[in-house]
Structure 1
Amino acid sequence: MKNTIAERIQDFLKQFPPFDSLKKEELLLISSQIRVLYVEKGEYLFRQDSPCHDEFYIVREGAIGLYRGFDDDQNLVDICDAGDLFGLRILIIKKDYRMSAKADEESIVYAIPARVFEPFIEENREVNKFLLGTFAAHARNYFTETEKGQRIDNTISIETVKDLSALRSISYRKKPVTCTFDDTIKDIAKKMTDKKVSCIIIVDGNKQPIGIITDRDLRAKIATGMYEITSLVNQIMVSPVVTYSKKITVAEAQIALIKHDISHLCITKDGTQDSKLIGILSDHDLLVSFGNNPSVLIKEVKRIKKPQKLRYIRQQVEKLLKSYLEQNIPTKHIINIISEINDALIIRVIELSLKEMSTPPPVKFCFMVLGSQGRREQLLLTDQDNAIVFENVDEQAYEATQLYFMELANKITKGLHTIGFEYCPAEMMASNPRWCMSLSKWKDQFRNWMITPTEEGTLLSSIFFDFQYVYGDRTMTDVLSEAVFEGVNKSNRFLGLLGVSALQKPSPLGFFKQFLVEQNGEHKDTFDIKIRAMMVLIDAARILTLYHNVKGVNNTLLRYAKLAEIEPKNAALFESCSKAFRVLIKFRTRQGLLHHDSGRFIKLNTLSKKDKLKLKRCFRPIRDIQELLRVRFQLKNLM
């Protein structure tokens, strides 16, 4: 028998993200488990500081207000209407609610069991990203009420300007796309498509703005058949336009967009309609100015045309990172978000570098990141580790082909340096001919490191075997991965030498359980959290996944999760290693943000007793995993 209620719920959910990215049968499964709640005006679904429910919610009808504070001293943070999700802490943090949810009018709400939905978060990347973005937005947004009850996300309240950053000038886009009265709608639609813009400004002979057409106008007036596509632009343009001077502040821009219910402001020379058009400011530009929405940042990265401007995006990423740490969002989610933004930045630098080349690439190639970037664990800006692999060519064409890609690599590494990724002191970058080679030469290099291992080869393989595809032909990294596992299976001694390297890392604690610090050099009397703690956990996870032929898993946390599945008897150890690594990476990131460096070298006298104890608890799994390596690979015979 059909479940008609579940089918009606399914029909509603499929209209909204993230449910629109699920399959029909998946959505029906979820819908059959949902509770339908009727909530009277003023009734609470949950209150601030109460334990989070086993369900999260989506509004079917009505409006649910999210409030911070208690009783008569409540501040409205956001309003959720049809299709909006709230109460997501059960999926992200599983801690007490930080806000109250109260019905602002009679409402119908669907309660979705977390246990039913959680499998889809792990399996569907789009679902994961949407939920994280929604959760972060609710955590930081303020609500601004207008006559129409509209909401501007990721912005400040216009009632009171509490943040001085709202008084700063906002960047606008220069050289807006324009047209004249004589153009047809078909002409301007093609122009907007070619220029990849969402609006076009109609100007007169003096370049003064007299009207605007946006994507929304084309949908509402042309796609509906209201006007013919051959009509002139003056028939559908919105006029007059709203104009401001180039000194418009963030707060002024927000107020203007809300007040006039528009998405674009025209920037003119003196701020009036009677002067020359010099720029355009959109609601998207306003969101970017706050820099606390990952999807907005990634979208903005794709629009930037100069590497210098990408530096601003990476600076915004640090603000985003800091806010996520303050909200105690799980480490795995933070790593995923920051890594996605870092990848977008690198890809954009590569695209811009390719445009600077005089000719297209002579053959297919792949740009890889290595080390912490390859493991998708680089939260702070550190030095670059990258490489290029290109398609095999005849011997006579090899030198010219390599020179082409080295020239490209120089542009890429320079662009990344401009963003803030420092040059690698050891020159482990694609601009080095040793790390810019054909696929066959890379395979030979990997085999040599494994079949005839040396101290240098063991060190390099520990960096290069954590490679990650970023741009180009992905199949090349698949071939290299096969070469790595083929070499491992032919050389038991190689894994043993990697294990020795993990055991020889300097100990974090001395005989009397005191922290061991650097004895000399630039970082004298500091604790090296990377070498003395994190690298052992990283190395062990890599060695054991190579031992088990686990392919396609480079991230340390994911490696330990996979190892726990493969070796149930050691699952407790692997889980403790994973927990320790999560604590260490967050600790290092906080230290780096605090001191504006990589966070690697820590001045112990700046730590509280609580922080020192937290660090020391992470060292127990390090000793245990070292012992496992020592026994499994019989390392006493190799040391």
Structure 2
Amino acid sequence: MEQSLLPNIFDYLSTVDPFDHLTAEARNALASSVDILYLMKGEALDGHKIVGQGLFIVRLGAVEQCNPDRSLRARLADGDLFGFSQLHRNGACDYTLTAIENTLLYRIPKQVLMQLIEEIPAVRDHFAAQESVRLASTAAMAEAADEAMYLRPVSEVTNRNLALVSASTPIRDVAQAMVAQHRSSALVMAGDQLVGIVTDRDMTKRVIAEGIATTEPVEMVMTRDPQIIDGQSSLIEAIEAMMLHNVRSLPVIEQGKVTGVLTATSLVEKSQVQAVFLINRIYRQESLAQLKALLPQRQAVFETLVETGMHARSVQQLMALVADAFNKRLLQLGEQALGAAPMPYAWFVAGSQARNEIHGFSDQDNGLILAREPDPEEKDYFRRLAEFVCYGLAECGYSLCPGHMMATNPRWCVSLDQWLAYYREWIVHPEPQALLDISVFLDVRFLYGQAELVDVLKHKLTTYTRGNRRFLAILVANSLRVSPPLGMFRQFVLAKDGENRSVFNIKKQALSLLVDLARIYALAAESRETEMTKRLQAAVDGGIISPASRQELLEAFSFINQVRFRHQRIAMQRGETASHTIAPALLTQFERNHLKDAFRIIARYQEAAQQRFHARGVLR
């Protein structure tokens, strides 16, 4: 190689992942080994010059990879890598490669690359054989950081120093036991059986404020049959349980026995973010104006979670808990303003909130299930309640659904019988047009009111979809109308934004496709789960996909969300409106390379789903 080119190659390799991890000496040696190739527009690189030859880097220009059936595999541009999958092959190349612009390529010889892989862990991890392995390595540090907190089992952080009393213990003695054990609560036991709990707040509100003599037995003021949590539940689930039941202490049960107590205070102390503080504050607000004032804090929580490198799954779960708190507090305030509901009802969330996939600027999808057909006066009550909650959520930063998939729409505020009729129409006699409605309401999660009403709806959903191959085929075919942007870096599936930049929609063209796949797999497995991780696990348990496939899809989902959240945070910090669109030019090289891995995973599973569910030609 001409020595005058070495500084340029050295500088360029310093910007390319994973070679930016090399020492200057190693990078200089690598630059010296690089071969340079030129392709004119329309010129192909013969397969025998790719197979077993080394790793190629597109330095300038663009190339197109096509599968043997001539379908597009990927379009690659400046900084993209190819050739690694062909290093150890014999015979023909897996794809054809053609320049779609005048192109300059760097080639790192196979022997040099293999030596780097053997000696440098960062290079080895980057070139792991499977896309999912590479994606997993990118998220390992972020996941490890918060796995130790929000995804850890409750048993690992439970305080096992307990104040245990019997129902006949005098209140004074209970208080003394709490002080002696430095506990904010005492558990009331009958042998090994938990029968009640009393907290320091109970001592204030139920004893002192009511003038109860401290010589009375504690059973007079205890909370009977308290909420409990299993020791193997995650801390995310514990936070949700505290919110749902408005309690600050949860007795922990392991193998049927009480082993400790988890308190809101301990969660706050162990938390690395302010999400738990915010949730507690939400429930203390007494008006819509006060809730609205918390909007900046909600945005700050999202930005902090992303900035500190928290795993995307935990970001979504925590933001969903915050959204749930706003929603439920508005329902409580609505009932206070309008009076008690005239009949049992269930408020459910749908779409991304039902899946616990909330982010910094999610909109709202929800509905009301009424126990029976309402009369005009009852219908007016629920109309006013829905308007109070939905418009209140909009003021708190959860924008109104553009498609009006909300309880304010009379169509989505109806009796259980009417909801069942909707589902029967959508699923038993599916029409392509109905997919617009069911794409949102296939994902529902109970939030407030009578949970049994949502349980009945979800049970019927499972009944209607069981063995309904045509319905699943329609869902697959509808999802296949959108493909991942495999060639997004060179005039492929890009749109123009308000600044006339070429952009792609990371939600529509990637994340929604993974959501669709997980939903279809879960329905095929007759599962009622809505969350991505649980749906994929149900699909594994039902024999629909393998454990390796579950892991691969989760890694793709997590990495794509990680990229989305980073770019949304950058937009917020610049004072811009965060969105789902990203200009490829703003992606780092690291993001570009690994997004391609994720997009290839999506494309592969889309094709597999089309074949498995016989979806070809279902929609015309």
Taking structure 1 as the reference length, the TM-score comes to 0.54
Which secondary structure state, in structure 1, belongs to the residue aligned with residue 466 of structure 2? helix
**Could you report, residue by residue, the CA deviation over 1:206-264 in whole angstroms, capped at 9, with x for unpaired residues?**
xxxxxxxxxxxx9xxx9799xxxxxxxxxxxxxxxxxxxxxxxxxxxxxxxxxxxxxxx
Counterpart Cα distance in 2 of 1:612 and 1:92:
19
> Out of 584, 594, 619, which is 2:560 matched to?
584
When residues 404 and 291 of structure 1 are mapped into structure 2, their CA distance, relative to the original with a 3 A threshold, is: farther
When residues 127 and 317 of structure 1 are mapped into structure 2, their CA distance, relative to the original with a 3 A threshold, is: farther
Whichever residue aligns with residue 386 of structure 1, its letter is N
When residues 92 and 611 of structure 1 are mapped into structure 2, their CA distance, relative to the original with a 3 A threshold, is: closer
Q: Is the 8 A contact 1:382 1:422 kept in 2?
A: yes
> Out of 525, 547, 553, which is 1:548 matched to?
525
Deviation for aligned residue 1:625 = 1.2
Counterpart Cα distance in 1 of 2:317 and 2:584:
30
Which residue number corresponds to residue 178 of structure 1? none
Which residue number corresponds to residue 228 of structure 1? none
Which residue number corresponds to residue 533 of structure 1? 510
Which secondary structure state, in structure 2, belongs to the residue aligned with residue 636 of structure 1? coil
> Out of 431, 435, 438, which is 2:412 matched to?
435
> Out of 281, 303, 320, which is 2:284 matched to?
303
Counterpart Cα distance in 1 of 2:602 and 2:141:
30
Q: Please identify runs of 4+ aligned residues in structure 1 that moved more than 4 A.
A: 90-93, 117-120, 126-130, 189-192, 222-225, 511-515, 519-524
Q: Is the 8 A contact 1:529 1:588 kept in 2?
A: yes
Q: Is the 8 A contact 1:537 1:622 kept in 2?
A: yes
When residues 589 and 119 of structure 1 are mapped into structure 2, their CA distance, relative to the original with a 3 A threshold, is: closer
Counterpart Cα distance in 2 of 1:431 and 1:363:
18
> Out of 341, 357, 365, which is 1:361 matched to?
341
When residues 385 and 482 of structure 1 are mapped into structure 2, their CA distance, relative to the original with a 3 A threshold, is: same
When residues 428 and 566 of structure 1 are mapped into structure 2, their CA distance, relative to the original with a 3 A threshold, is: same
When residues 419 and 366 of structure 1 are mapped into structure 2, their CA distance, relative to the original with a 3 A threshold, is: same
1:384 has 2:396 as partner: no
Q: Is the 8 A contact 2:344 2:449 kept in 1?
A: yes
Deviation for aligned residue 1:322 = 2.4
**Could you report, residue by residue, the CA deviation over 1:25-65 in whole angstroms, capped at 9, with x for unpaired residues?**
xxxxxxxxxxxxxxxxxxxxxxxxxxxxxxxxxxxxxxxxx
Q: Is the 8 A contact 2:355 2:532 kept in 1?
A: yes
Which secondary structure state, in structure 2, belongs to the residue aligned with residue 378 of structure 1? coil
Where do residues 214-229 of structure 1 align in structure 2 (5 Å cutoff)? none
Which residue number corresponds to residue 402 of structure 2? 425
When residues 486 and 513 of structure 1 are mapped into structure 2, their CA distance, relative to the original with a 3 A threshold, is: farther
Deviation for aligned residue 1:522 = 8.2
Deviation for aligned residue 1:334 = 2.5
Counterpart Cα distance in 2 of 1:554 and 1:308:
32
Counterpart Cα distance in 1 of 2:588 and 2:282:
39
Counterpart Cα distance in 2 of 1:555 and 1:190:
36
Which residue number corresponds to residue 566 of structure 1? 542
Which residue number corresponds to residue 351 of structure 2? 371
**Could you report, residue by residue, the CA deviation over 1:254-298 in whole angstroms, capped at 9, with x for unpaired residues?**
xxxxxxxxxxxxxxxxxxxxxxxxxxxxxx9xx99x994332222
Counterpart Cα distance in 2 of 1:450 and 1:620:
31
Counterpart Cα distance in 1 of 2:608 and 2:501:
32
Deviation for aligned residue 1:317 = 2.9
When residues 93 and 615 of structure 1 are mapped into structure 2, their CA distance, relative to the original with a 3 A threshold, is: closer
Q: Is the 8 A contact 2:521 2:544 kept in 1?
A: no
When residues 598 and 119 of structure 1 are mapped into structure 2, their CA distance, relative to the original with a 3 A threshold, is: closer
Which secondary structure state, in structure 2, belongs to the residue aligned with residue 526 of structure 1? strand
Q: Is the 8 A contact 2:488 2:584 kept in 1?
A: no
Counterpart Cα distance in 2 of 1:517 and 1:129:
50
Counterpart Cα distance in 2 of 1:291 and 1:92:
13
Which residue number corresponds to residue 21 of structure 2? none
Where do residues 177-576 of structure 1 align in structure 2 (5 Å cutoff)? 193=205, 292-357=273-338, 359-393=339-373, 397-489=374-466, 491-510=468-487, 516-518=493-495, 525-551=502-528, 553-567=529-543, 570-576=546-552
Whichever residue aligns with residue 329 of structure 2, its letter is R
Q: What root-mean-square deviation, in Å, do the aligned CA atoms of Structure 1 and Structure 2 show?
A: 3.9
Q: Which has the higher contact order (CA 8 A, sep 6+)?
A: 2
Deviation for aligned residue 1:399 = 3.6
Where do residues 154-173 of structure 1 align in structure 2 (5 Å cutoff)? none
Counterpart Cα distance in 2 of 1:602 and 1:482:
39
Which secondary structure state, in structure 1, belongs to the residue aligned with residue 362 of structure 2? coil
Aligned length: 385
> Out of 603, 608, 630, which is 2:610 matched to?
630
> Out of 594, 597, 606, which is 1:617 matched to?
597
Deviation for aligned residue 1:603 = 2.0
Q: Is the 8 A contact 1:307 1:415 kept in 2?
A: yes
**Greater alpha carbon shift after TM alignment, 417-426 vs 512-521:** 512-521
Counterpart Cα distance in 1 of 2:466 and 2:539:
18
Counterpart Cα distance in 2 of 1:308 and 1:481:
35
Where do residues 115-154 of structure 1 align in structure 2 (5 Å cutoff)? 121-122=152-153, 124=154
Q: Is the 8 A contact 1:517 1:527 kept in 2?
A: yes
Deviation for aligned residue 1:511 = 9.1
Taking structure 2 as the reference length, the TM-score comes to 0.56
Q: Is the 8 A contact 1:564 1:575 kept in 2?
A: no
Counterpart Cα distance in 1 of 2:428 and 2:202:
59
Counterpart Cα distance in 2 of 1:92 and 1:528:
24
- Extract unaligned runs of 5+ from structure 1: 1-89, 98-113, 131-188, 201-217, 226-283
Whichever residue aligns with residue 357 of structure 2, its letter is E
Deviation for aligned residue 1:595 = 1.2
Which secondary structure state, in structure 2, belongs to the residue aligned with residue 437 of structure 1? strand
Counterpart Cα distance in 1 of 2:499 and 2:458:
38
Which secondary structure state, in structure 2, belongs to the residue aligned with residue 516 of structure 1? coil
Deviation for aligned residue 1:557 = 2.7
> Out of 592, 597, 604, which is 2:584 matched to?
604
Which residue number corresponds to residue 238 of structure 2? none
Q: Is the 8 A contact 1:291 1:320 kept in 2?
A: no
**Could you report, residue by residue, the CA deviation over 1:445-471 in whole angstroms, capped at 9, with x for unpaired residues?**
011001121222122111111111111
Whichever residue aligns with residue 193 of structure 1, its letter is K
Q: Is the 8 A contact 2:517 2:606 kept in 1?
A: yes
Deviation for aligned residue 1:601 = 0.8
**Could you report, residue by residue, the CA deviation over 1:314-353 in whole angstroms, capped at 9, with x for unpaired residues?**
4223322322223322333332222222211111011111
**Could you report, residue by residue, the CA deviation over 1:560-609 in whole angstroms, capped at 9, with x for unpaired residues?**
23323433863222211111111111221222222133430112222222
- Extract unaligned runs of 5+ from structure 2: 1-139, 160-200, 217-264
When residues 435 and 544 of structure 1 are mapped into structure 2, their CA distance, relative to the original with a 3 A threshold, is: same
Counterpart Cα distance in 2 of 1:603 and 1:297:
33
